């Protein structure tokens, strides 16, 4: 993603939060970025497309965080607690997606955005079910969607109190509390088994979601990071000769990693060169972390 495109997205996020979607115009966003409105349209055809891009970016961030936690290979209970805490941290950063007045959302007649928001809701609900099934196993198989609905309600309600009622509860403490309440719920269901309300037939749309398709592999994330770095280089405020050099460094790094026996000293040197540019530093460090997971590069 180019620096200007990222700047546009960050500006839109802030203005949507401050003024609401309806009250924010494309001209407002362009003015905030100090660019012509026509320049903004080179990246996004409409305000709707820009809003969907924000949703996609935030949702991918959430899935990346899930992947990161899973790769730690913690004990099952610790993974469960870490993922619940991650949910509150995510909604804490992007809480405007659950605001109760929905002022920041587009009109209901916006079919594209409504469809994508519904897609996110289905994906997140299915992720909750996956999380609970990993923790409780076949114990909840008969009522997995009902348990998921109650878990989703707890997450949403406590997130509201954290964000909009300003209740300063540490997320780790909150994660432990939610986990213990779910333990109580599952134990109670086992003692007096009810008939499920949300049956598999009713939840067919959710049953068909393959969550693994939304969680990128490390190799996919590495490929994405390379693409991001290459897209940023042309917008750097450095001489053209340096841009060409950075492109060559990036491609050389990519080619070296594809070798059967990549030279670690060369990989480290190339990564260090990329990190000298402030705009590339974050992505280079992310790349180094991902490469460390695959190739034990430290």
Please give the Cα distance from 214 to 195 (Å, whole number): 31
pLDDT of residue 245: 93
Six-digit token string for 141: 């198989």
Please give the Cα distance from 173 to 77 (Å, whole number): 14
Please give the Cα distance from 105 to 54 (Å, whole number): 12
pLDDT of residue 220: 65
Residue 229 has pLDDT above 80, yes or no: yes
Please give the Cα distance from 30 to 145 (Å, whole number): 44
- CATH (one of 3.30.230, 1.10.357, 2.20.25, 1.10.10) for 52-214: 1.10.357
Torsion, Cα of 38, 42, 48, 54 (10° steps): -120
Phi, psi (degrees; rounded to nearest 5) at 169: -105, 125
Please give the Cα distance from 189 to 101 (Å, whole number): 34
The pTM for the full model equals 0.67
Please give the Cα distance from 254 to 251 (Å, whole number): 5
Residue 110 has pLDDT above 70, yes or no: no
pLDDT of residue 190: 85
Q: How many CB atoms lie within 10 A of CB 106?
A: 18
222 or 100, higher pLDDT:
222
CB 274 within 8 A of CB 229: yes
CB 65 within 8 A of CB 171: no
Domain boundaries, the chain: 1-45, 52-214, 218-295
Domain 1-45 belongs to what topology?
Answer: Arc Repressor Mutant, subunit A (1.10.10)
Residue 96 has pLDDT above 60, yes or no: no
Q: How many CB atoms lie within 10 A of CB 133?
A: 16
Extended strands (E) in 155-288: none
pLDDT in tens, 36-76: 988 898 888 888 888 888 888 888 888 888 888 888 888 99
Please give the Cα distance from 91 to 93 (Å, whole number): 5
Residue 213 has pLDDT above 70, yes or no: no
Please give the Cα distance from 233 to 286 (Å, whole number): 16
Lowest mean pLDDT among 11-20, 96-105, 148-157, 163-172: 96-105
């Amino acid at each position: 993603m180019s620096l200007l495109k990222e700047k546009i997205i960050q500006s839109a996020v802030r203005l949507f939060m401050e003024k609401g979607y309806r009250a924010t115009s494309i001209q407002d966003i362009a003015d905030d970025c100090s660019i012509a409105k026509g320049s903004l349209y080179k990246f996004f055809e409409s305000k709707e497309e820009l809003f969907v891009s924000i949703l996609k970016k935030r949702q991918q961030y959430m899935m990346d965080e899930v992947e990161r936690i899973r790769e730690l290979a913690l004990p099952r209970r610790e993974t469960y607690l870490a993922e619940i805490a991650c949910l509150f941290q995510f909604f804490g950063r992007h809480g405007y997606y659950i605001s109760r007045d929905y002022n920041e959302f587009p009109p209901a007649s916006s079919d594209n955005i409504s469809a994508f928001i519904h897609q996110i809701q289905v994906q997140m609900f299915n992720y909750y079910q996956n999380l609970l099934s990993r923790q409780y196993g076949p114990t909840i198989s008969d009522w997995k969607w009902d348990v998921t609905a109650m878990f989703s309600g707890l997450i949403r309600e406590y997130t509201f109190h954290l964000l909009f009622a300003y209740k300063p509860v540490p997320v780790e403490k909150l994660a432990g509390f939610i986990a213990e309440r779910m333990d109580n719920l599952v134990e109670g269901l086992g003692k007096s088994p009810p008939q499920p309300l949300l049956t598999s037939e009713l939840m067919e749309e959710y049953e068909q979601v393959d969550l693994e398709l939304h969680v990128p592999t490390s190799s996919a994330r590495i490929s994405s990071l390379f693409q991001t770095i290459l897209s940023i280089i042309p917008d750097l405020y450095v001489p053209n000769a340096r841009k060409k050099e950075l492109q060559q460094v990036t491609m050389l790094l990519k080619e070296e990693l594809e070798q059967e026996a990549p030279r670690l000293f060369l990989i480290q040197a190339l990564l260090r060169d990329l990190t000298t540019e402030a705009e590339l530093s974050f992505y280079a460090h992310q790349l180094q972390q991902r490469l460390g997971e695959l190739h034990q590069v430290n």
